[in-house]
Amino acid sequence: MQKKNVISNNQIKNLLVTTIIGVGILSLPSNIAVVLDNDGWIAVLVSGLLIIPFILIIDKLFKMYPNKTIFEIGEEVLGKFIFKIFLIIIAIYATITLAYSIRVFGEVIKAYLLERTPIAVIIITMLLATSYASRAEIEILGRVATMVYPILLALFIFLFLINMPKSDYTDILPLFNADFTKLPRGIMVTIFSYAGYEIIMVAYPLTDNRKDTLKYTLRGLFIVIGIYLAAFFISLSQLGVNQLKRTLWPTIAIAKEVDLPGYFLENLDGIVIALWVLIVYTSVGPLFYIGGKTLSYIFNTKSHDVFILPLIPIIYLISMIPDNIISVYDEMGRILSYFLIASIMAVPAIIFFAALIKRRRRRT
Amino acid sequence: MNISINLNENVNAIKEVLKNCDDVVYRTIEVGESSKTKTLMVFVDGLANGKVISEFAIESILKISKLNKINTESIMSNISEKVSDEFLAIHDIKEEYDLDKVIEMILIGETALLIDGSDKALILSTRGWPSRNVAEPPNETVVRGPRDGFTEIVRTNTALVRRRIRDPKLKVKSMQVGRRSKTDIAIMYIEDIASDEILNEVIRRIEKIDIDAIGESALLESLIDGNHLTPFPLIENTERPDAVAASILEGRIAILTDNTPFALLVPTTVGTFFQSSEDYYTKWPMASIFRFIRLSAALLTVLSPALYIAITSFHPGLIPSVLAFYVAASRINVPFPAVVESFLMELTIELLRESGTRVAGPIGSTIGIVGGIIIGQAAVEAGVVSPLKIIIAAVTTISFFAIANYEWALALRVIRFIFMILASILGLYGIMLGVAVLIVHFARLDSFGVPFASPFSGLGLKEGDLKDTIVKAPIQKLKFRPIFTFPKDKRRFRER
Amino acid sequence: MKKLLVIILLFLLPFTTGCWDKVEIEQRVFVTEIGIDKNGKEEGINKMTVTYQYPNINNIGKDSGGGSSNFLITTESSSVFQAGRQFMTKVPFPFYYKHLKVVILGNEFLKEENLIRVVLDELNRDTKINKRVRILAADTTAKEIMEASFNKEQRTEGTIYATVRDNRNTSSYTTKSLADIVTDFDIAGVTLIPRISLDEKGSFVVSGGCILKNYHFLDWIDPVENKVINLINGDMVIETIDVIYEQNLISYAISETETRRDIKVDDKITADINVQVEGYLQGYTLSDKSSIENDEIIMNMEKAIESEMMKAARRTISHMKEVKADLIGIGEHISKYHPKEWDKIENDWDDIFSEVEINLNIDVKIRRIGLTR
pLDDT digits (tens, 9 = 90+) for A183-198: 888 888 888 888 888 8
Question: Percentage of chain A with pLDDT > 90?
Answer: 14
Q: What is the number of helices (H) and of strands (E) in chain A?
A: 16, 2
Residues A54-97: pLDDT tens digits?
888 888 888 888 878 888 888 888 888 888 888 888 888 888 88
CA pair distance B355, B114, nearest whole angstrom: 53
Crossing angle (nearest 10°) for helices C178-187 and A213-246: 80
Query: What does the pLDDT read at residue A260?
Result: 65
**Of B129-133, C92-96, C248-252, C290-294, the least confident:** C290-294
A64, A78, A136, A193, A273 from A87: Cα distances, Å: 21, 12, 20, 22, 34
Distance of residue C126 Cα from the nearest chain B Cα, in angstroms: 14
Q: Using CA atoms, how far apart are residues B198 and B487, in angstroms rounded to an integer?
A: 10
Question: Which residues, in sequence order, are CB contacts of B381 under 8 Å at separation 6+?
Answer: none
Q: A211: Cβ–Cβ under 8 A, 6 or more apart, which residues?
A: none
Residue range B420-430, pLDDT digits in tens:
988 888 889 99
Cβ-proximal residues to C334 (8 Å cutoff; 6+ apart), any chain: C263, C265, C269, C341, C342, C345
Q: Is the peptide bond before C94 cis (omega within 30 degrees of 0)?
A: no
Contacts of A270 in chain B (CB under 8 A): 315, 317-319, 428
Q: Which residue of B has its CA nearest to C99?
A: B321
3-state helix, strand, coil split of chain C in percent (to 5) is 35, 30, 35
Q: What is the pLDDT of residue B21?
A: 84
Residues of B in contact with C99 (CB under 8 A): 316-317, 321, 324-325
Rounded distance between C-alpha atoms, residue C293 and residue C303, angstroms: 17
The helices-and-strands tally (H runs, E runs) of chain C is 11, 14
Sheet holding B37-44, edge to edge: B24-31, B37-44, B111-115, B121-124, B93-96
Instruction: Please state the rounded mean pLDDT for residues A248-268.
Output: 74
A contact test, residue of B205, B307, B440, B456 with most A CBs within 10 A:
B440
Q: Where are the domains of chain B?
A: 7-124, 154-266, 280-451
d(CA B292, CA C187): 48
CB atoms < 10 A from the CB of B269, how many?
28
d(CA A218, CA A227): 14
In chain B, which residues have pLDDT < 70? 31-35, 56-57, 60-91, 463-464, 494-496
In 3D space, the residue among C76, C83, C77, C88 whose CA is nearest the CA of residue C33 turns out to be: C83
- State pLDDT tens for residues C314-341: 888 888 888 888 888 888 888 888 888 8
**Cis upstream peptide for B168 (omega within 30°):** no
| Strand A259-260, strand A265-266: pairing | antiparallel
| Cβ–Cβ < 8 Å for C136, C103 | yes
Q: What does the domain layout of chain C look like in residue ranges?
A: 24-221, 223-373
Interface contact flag, C25 B326, Cβ < 8 Å: no
End-to-end CA distance of chain A: 45
Of chain C, the end-to-end C-alpha distance in Å amounts to 92
Q: Which domains are assigned to chain A?
A: 9-363 (1.20.1740.10)
pLDDT tens-digit profile of A197-216? Answer: 888 888 888 887 788 888 88
Give the pLDDT confidence of C232-255 residue by residue, as tens digits: 888 777 788 888 877 788 888 888
Q: Which of B428, B438, B488 to mutate to test the interface with A (most CBs of A within 10 A)?
A: B428
The SS3 of residue C343 is helix
- Specify the pLDDT at position C153: 61
Which pLDDT tens digit goes with each residue over B5-31? 778 888 888 888 888 888 888 888 776
Of B481, B292, B483, the closest CA to residue B404 belongs to: B292
Q: In whole angstroms, what is the distance from residue C62 CA to residue A168 CA? A: 42
What is the pLDDT, as a whole number, of residue B77?
A: 46
Is beta strand C248-265 parallel, antiparallel or unpaired with respect to B121-124? unpaired
pLDDT at C129 (0 to 100): 84
Residue C21 contacts A, CB cutoff 8 Å: yes
Helix (H, G, I), strand (E, B) or coil at B5: coil
CB nearest to B321's CB, from A11, A266, A282:
A266
Of B277, C226, B461, whose CA–CA distance to A150 is shortest? B461
The per-residue pLDDT for C349 is 81
For residue A281, the chain B residues in CB contact (below 8 A) are 433, 436
Maximum Cα interatomic distance, chain B, rounded to a whole number of Å: 105
- Strand ranges (E), chain C: 29-30, 33-38, 48-55, 70-77, 95-96, 102-105, 134-138, 190-198, 204-213, 216-221, 239-245, 248-265, 269-283, 357-368
Pick from B446, B468, B338: nearest CA to B392: B338
Q: Residue B28, Cβ neighbours under 10 Å: how many?
A: 12
Rounded to whole angstroms, how far apart are CA atoms B492 and A351?
Answer: 49
CA dist., res. B487 & res. B249, Å (int)? 10
This prediction's pTM: 0.86
C25 vs B392: CA distance, rounded Å: 16
Instruction: Check whether A252 has a pLDDT greater than 50.
Output: yes
Upper half-sphere CA count for residue A69 (Cβ side, 13 Å): 12
Which of residues C152 and C355 earns the better pLDDT score? C355
Query: Is C67 a residue whose pLDDT tops 70?
Result: no
Chain A interface test: which of B230, B318, B422 (most A C-beta within 10 Å) = B318
Question: Which residue of C25, C29, C95 is the best one to mutate when testing the B interface, meaning the one whose CB has the most B CBs within 10 A?
Answer: C25
Nearest Cα of chain C lies from the Cα of B444 at a distance, in angstroms, of 18
Tell me the residues of chain C between 138 and 177 that have a Cβ less than 8 Å away from chain A: 165, 177
What is the C-alpha to C-alpha distance for residues B32 and A347, in angstroms, rounded to an integer?
Answer: 97
pLDDT band for position C88 (50/70/90)? confident
In chain B, which residues have their Cβ closer than 8 Å to the Cβ of A147? 439, 442-443, 453, 456-457
Does residue A154 sit in helix, strand or coil?
A: helix
Contact A283, A23 (CB under 8 A): yes
Q: How far apart are CA C24 and CA B312, in angstroms?
A: 6
CA distances from C241 to A254, B481, C367 (A): 37, 69, 15
- The pLDDT tens digits of the residues spanning B199-221 come to 998 999 988 888 888 888 888 88
Is the pLDDT reported for residue C216 higher than 50? Answer: yes
User: What value does the mean pLDDT of chain C take?
Assistant: 82
| Angle at the Cα of C370 from the Cα atoms of C364 and C373, rounded to 5 degrees | 95
**Chain B partners of A142 at a C-beta cutoff of 8 Å?**
457-458
- State the Cα–Cα distance between residues A207 and B392, nearest whole angstrom: 45
CB A91 within 8 A of CB A291: yes
* Alpha-carbon distance values, B79 to B57, B65, B67, B102 (Å): 15, 11, 12, 19
Please name the residues in contact with A132: beta carbons below 8 A apart, sequence gap of 6 or more: B437, B440, B441
Distance CA A28, CA A35 (A): 11
Task: Please report the pLDDT score of residue C175 as a whole number.
Answer: 84
Residues 6+ away with beta carbon under 8 Å from B373 = none
Q: Summarize pLDDT for A284-299 with one digit per residue, the tens.
A: 999 999 888 888 888 8
Put simply, the answer to whether A256 touches C165 (Cβ < 8 Å) is no
Reduced to 3 states (helix: H, G, I; strand: E, B; else coil), residue C243 is: strand
Q: Which residues pair with B480 in a beta bridge?
A: B491
Contact C14/B425, CB-based, under 8 Å?
Answer: yes
Interface of A with C in 256-275 (CB under 8 A): 256-257, 259, 261, 266-267
B382 Cβ under 8 Å from any chain C Cβ = no
What CA–CA distance (Å, rounded) separates B85 from B83?
A: 6
Helices B406-444 and B387-402, axial angle in degrees (round to 10): 90
- For residue C350, name the pLDDT band (cuts at 50, 70, 90): confident
Under CATH, what is the fold of the domain C223-373?
GMP Synthetase; Chain A, domain 3 (3.30.300)
Reported as a single tens digit per residue, the pLDDT across C146-184 is 888 776 665 555 677 777 777 677 778 888 888 888 888
Interface membership of A246 toward C (CB under 8 Å): yes
- Residue among B195, B169, B192, B165 nearest B483 (CA): B195
Sheet of strand B253-257, all strands in order from the earlier edge strand to the far edge: B170-177, B183-190, B253-257, B263-266, B236-238
